[in-house]
Every structure is written in structure tokens, then in C-alpha cells.
Structure 1
Amino acid sequence: IKIWDIATGKALATLNGHSSEVKSVAFSSDGQKLASGSTDNTIKIWDIATGKALATLNGHNSWVTSVAFSPDGQKLASGSDDKTIKIWDITTGKALAILNRHIPVNSVAFSSDGQKLASSSVDNTIKIWDIATGKVIKTLSGHSSMVNSVAFSSDGQKLASGSNDNTIKIWDIATGKVIKTLSGHSSMVNSVVFSNDGQKLASASDDKTIKIWDITTGKAITTLSGHSSAVKSVAFSNDGQKLASGSADKTIKIWDLDFNNLLRSGCELLNYYLIAHPEVLADLPTCQTPSRLLQGATVLVIQGEKLAQNDDDIDAAIDKFRKAQQWDSSLKFDPQVKAQEFANKGKAKRQLAEGEKIVQEGKVKEAIAAYADAQKLDPKIEISADSWNILCSQGSLHKQAADVMFACNQSVKLAPDNGYIRDRRGLARALTGDYQGAISDFEAYIAQIEDKDIRARRQRWIKDLKAGKNPITDDELKRLQNE
């Protein structure tokens, strides 16, 4: 094990003592101790100041694949190929608990409060353990291959996992559900780590790259390339400005992360996404260029209109409009008035749809009232010729032609060359005694229709109407309802 000086890049100490490959190392929170796990089946606790081994912890009967100190530095967790996790008392060197619900364990990590432990395994799952009881709280399933690495966010609310399925998953600890799946690596993910502020995640992969991810968007901010072989491990510095990576190419690289520049680059890559998702743009001040804010304001207005119109949440719509005005000072409207206007538009459309529905059930007067309510709610509502024709046709078929004649005339006004619409008004006219008007409408329909049976029926009607006889009997109405 080597201890390095970051400023100079020089090795400060080499710790010798394991008799085989070292698989994992972890510093205590005070930086005074280091733990190491090895394929010699042991864990060693080292004094950083002297470079001496303080203790050797024996108990695993196969490789020790992962070690992690508790936040208070009093305990150590170790995961092993022997299918167990052991919790050790650092002071005594004794095992406090043995957790054994996995097959070979690949990774262990304490939560920031030290009350939970996450472990990942060859069995494709992650388990969350209660340290006090040694019981499994949750088993997280979702990866399609072994899970190589787990890491808690600093607030303990999220967990990241990296897998042989080439993906990283972000989990909600409270629910055990996947929040996001991060895809981008072309080979297995070996290591994941959150930045201290919980806003970024670094991942290392066999594809020889490291990716830095924005947790809010789930998008990669940048990809760090430079290793010539698989990258096995990554770790952030406490201030989040540097990243260390260890590789199978036998090198460790220290990366200088100028996140402002990285974010600006990420902003450009995510430009269209940020404009289309202004709620994400609002959380990324670095990305808030004047142009992007203006375009985002337009999207906010559209979102607010939809919210109000769908009757989802008027208050949320008002908030969208206010945010849009903050981003674009040229937007001159009262957010509350605009929200109510679009709420009324939505109600008007729903009233109109209800009217079209109930008139077909024979509720003609209620349907007429629904159309009137729609126009009252939204005086500018555009009712189509087809919609007016539904009211006209169904009202006539239900023997209330006189009540819906206004709708018949309006549908013909909007679509004077539509033969079917003329036919429906002709029906209403025949039922209300306007025989000449009915003849004119039926003749217009006959000129367009090719169906011989329908043409013959309309011609019989015209013959009867010219003889002063109403051909629309109750039996005829029943046939028309089924036509």
C-alpha cells in the first residue's frame, strides 16, 4: 500500500505486511488510520503517522474484497468472497457481528450517520443493513449482473451502485426504488462515489474511462480519458475539486476538476434538455445564460397553461408564470388572471366534450346547456363544424330538432360544402316543417354520396316532401340511428 502526497505526487510511505494482493483500502474520518483488505483473507489497520500496522483482523476464510470505516471511526465493515460481512470493533479488533445473506460480497459502505450499511454482491443485489440489529432493512434489485460498488450520498438519502451490466443506479433509500439509471459506460462499472455535496457522482469502468455525472439531471457532465486499461477505483477529495483514479495500467491519476468549466461544457451539451426542462435549469445557475432563460421562460409559460387548462394545479401554474416573468421581463400579464383564463379554457373544452357525449344518450337539453356553458367559460372557444353537427344530428334523432336547429345552421355555416352536414340539417328541417329547406339540403347530399341505397332513400324523401308529406317517421328515425 502506498501513501501519496497530492501536492507533490511523491510517495510518502509504503506499507508492507499483506502476503497477497490488496483489494481495498479506506481512511478513517480523522485521517489517522487506514484499513486494508487483502486476498490473504486478512484486514490490517495502519497508523498513518508511523506506517506501522496497529492490528491484523482475522476471521474471513476467503478474500477480503472491501473495507469501510464507520463515520465515528469506531467500527470497520469488511466484505468477503466467503459470503459474509463482518463488523469489527476497532479498539478491540473483535468481530461485533457477522452478516451473511449474500453470496460473495463485492462492496460495503456506511451511511453518514453510521446506522446503516450497504453491501453489494455477485448475486446482482444490494442489501441495506441495520447496524444495531444486524438485520436486512431492504434488498434492492434491478441490476441484471453483479454489483461491484455502492456508495451513500452525504445526506444518507440516496445510494449509488455500479454493476457489470454497464450501468449505475441511483436509489431512494426510504422507498428502495430506483430514482435514475445512468447509462453511458461501454463496459462494467467498477467503482462509484458521490461528491461531498451530493450533487455529482464519479464512476470508473473497464472501458478505461471515468465519468462525472450530474445527479439532478442524470446526465454525464464529462468523461475523463487517460488510463490505458480498466479503471478500478475512484475517490473525490473533500472539497470535490480533485478526483483520484486507480487503474489496471498500474497508475493512479489525480484529476483537477474545475466544475464551473465542466458544468459550462455540460450546459452546452444539455442545452436543449435544459430549455425543455426549466425546472432543472432553475437548479443550475451556471447554465442560466440570458438566451437559455428566455427560451426556458417560453416553456414555463406553456407548462403553466397546460397545468391550468388540465385543472391539475392552479397554484403551480401561477408559480410557473411568475418564474417565466423573472426570466423574461417582457412578459406582461397577471399570473393569476392568466391561470384562471386557461383554467376556464380547460373547463370549456371539458364541458363541450360532455355535451357531445350526453346528447348521444338523448339528454338533448342538458347537452345544449353544456355547449352554452362552454361558450360562457371561454367566449373565444372554437367549436368545430363536426361538434355542432353532433348536437344537430343527435338532437334531431331524439325528436328535438327545433331545439338544435341553431347548431345545424352553425355547422353548415362553418362547412357549407360538406354534404353529410347538409343532410343532418335537412333532417332537422324536415322534422320542423321546413320542407323546401330540407329538399335543398338533401339534394346537396345526393350530389356527393355514392352509396346507392342512401341515394335512393333521400330521393324518396324528396319526392314525399315535394308532395307535402313528411317522410321522417319514427321507424325512419330508428333506421337513421343505426345508419
Structure 2
Amino acid sequence: MLASGADNEVIFWDVTTGKQVGQPLTGHQATIQSVAFSSDGHTLASIDDMSQIMLWDVSMMKPLLNQPLVNTDPVTDTGVEHQNGLTFSPDGKMLAAGGYEFAIVWDLALPRPERVAQAFRIPVNNSPNPYAYVRGVTFSPDGQQVLIISDTDSANYAVTVLDINLASWQTAACTIVNRNFTFGEWQQFVGDEPYQKVCANFSVDSSEIQDQLSQAHADLLAEHTEAAQAVYQQATQEAVQLDDDVLNNHVCFWGSTDQFASVVLSACERAVSLNPFNGQYYDSRGVTRALTGDRRGAIADFKFFVQWVTDQYLNAPGVSASTQAKYKHFVDERNGWIQKLQAGQNPFDTRTLQALRVESGIDQ
């Protein structure tokens, strides 16, 4: 099968007979400059001199898109002239188009193809014309690079390599900034997608994880339960990678009192392992264990907390009466929880969890 452009129509030809196959395909509003088949022969791309690209189903001889793709100059937002190249990547998932001073790569695997890379106003050394005319584009065999062949009016030729491998761009960006996105930056540039660590070799700043906890709680209050759970999952995954016992305890307490105990349990374990002498971490883990059905573990944690408070505040010299009274209340409360757990009951209903958040200062 051979395809060609005739004015604004695409015509298929049988190469064995030299005869036209079917009726011409219409849809372009300007003269077609270039056509290209995908490697499997199932898709044809065509581009006209109004910078519009159409994709065609070869077997059905019908367009694949409701609207054509448009190659535009990012500065002027106008179509680029002189279309001089069109080629598919080896796997057929990308399409590269070249023209006057430009080359654009489209990702065809998306529901609606989008630009994934572009090169504009490619400079050419030792030329009176500072920019080059793109004469052709082609993919490397692995589909990770696009070779752009260009020249100027003075026949000064150049080959430019455009790296379209997202992983290599990501690695380069991480090397430059030496950190991950902040949570605010993620929301600004990515939107509602759950936060992810982009730079694998860099940890997430603890302040960003604290921001995630606030976001998760806000999502829950807005009845966006799935979104809240996703953020708590992400915060937990990041926190356990850090040697920060305070942060892990925050994730543990926030998540469990928001009733995502099973999601944040690993952060509870991490806090205790980092500082096995802090009774507050056992207390947070005790709540989480109780909510996940581990009554025996919860009882052990609350007993540890009671003994820790007794040693640190109730029996220690120099502790003010008001502080002792506060911690005496905590001890009485935990002993009540222990009794309920020993009786096979869960002491943590929604009201109790909310009271814990208010008591800790998280909520008003």
C-alpha cells in the first residue's frame, strides 16, 4: 500500500497494480505536504501546509480524531509554515513533525494526543541566518530520541538530537534542583493527582509531609474520603523513609484519629523504632492498634504510656501541680481504655477520636 497527497486529499495506491484503492480521504483544508505510515501499517498520518495533522485508520479509511492536531509556534500560537517531515516512532506511539524552524513530537498513546517534546528556532553555527529550516525528522531505533536535520539558506547543514525520554529529563531536572516538588508546587503544576516523589534519590522535606496531613484532613472534612486516604498513604510512604520520629508520630496520630489507622500503621511502628523510650509514640500506636483490631498490642502500648507518664510526671520531683493533674487525667483515661479493650470492646468511637484531636491541638 502506498499513500500520497493530492491537494487536500489523501489517496491510497496498490503498489502491485499501480491502481488507486478506494475513494480519496478528505478532511484537510489545505494542500497536503507529507504523509507517513506507522510501522505496522495500520495508521497513516498526513500534514498540510496549514500545520494540521490528521491520523487515519488505514483498514477503515476513516479519520481517527475528531479534530486534527495543529503544529503551532509557542510564541505566536500560529501555525508553522513549510512542513518538511513526518514520521512515526518504531512502536507507533509517537509522531514527529518538522517544518520551518521547528520540530514537534506528539504522544499518540494518550486518549487525545498531546505534545511531549518540541524544538523551535534551532540555531546553526557560522550562519548569517540564526535559525535553521527543518528538512527532515526521524526517530532513533529505540524511539527515545528524535534526529532533526536542518539547514539554512546558505546550505549550512546540522543534525540536532532531541531527547524525548521522560526519565532522562526527570533525572536532569532532579540533578539541577536537588530536591523534590514541594506540596504546594505539586498542587500548582500537577493538580489533583496524589502527591508523588519525583526525584528518587532525594527525600521529601518533612514540612511537605506535614502539609500533606493538613490536606488529607481537609479532604476528609470535605467528604473526599478516597482522596484523603491516598494522601495519607503517600505521607506514610514518605515518612517511613526518614529518620524523623516526631514526623512519623504525627502521621500516625493524624491518620489514626481520622480513621485511617491501617494506612498509617507503618509510620506508628517507625516512630517507636526510632525512639523506643518516648511514651507518646506508644500512645499513638496504641490507638492505631486498637482501631485495627490488635487489642493485645494496644493494651501493651497503653500500659507502657501509663508507666512512662507515672515516671516522667507523676512521681518525678519538680513537676507543677497543674502538669501532674493533666497527666493524671491521661493516666485515668488510658486505664479506662485498657479495661474496655480487656473486655473485648473498642473504646474509640468518632467522638472520642475527635476529642483526642482537640486535646492535642490539631482541631479546635
Question: TM-score, structure 1 length as denominator?
Answer: 0.35
Higher normalized contact order (CA 8 Å, seq sep 6+, divided by chain length) = 2
The alignment's TM-score, normalised by the length of structure 2, stands at: 0.45
More strand as a share of residues? 1
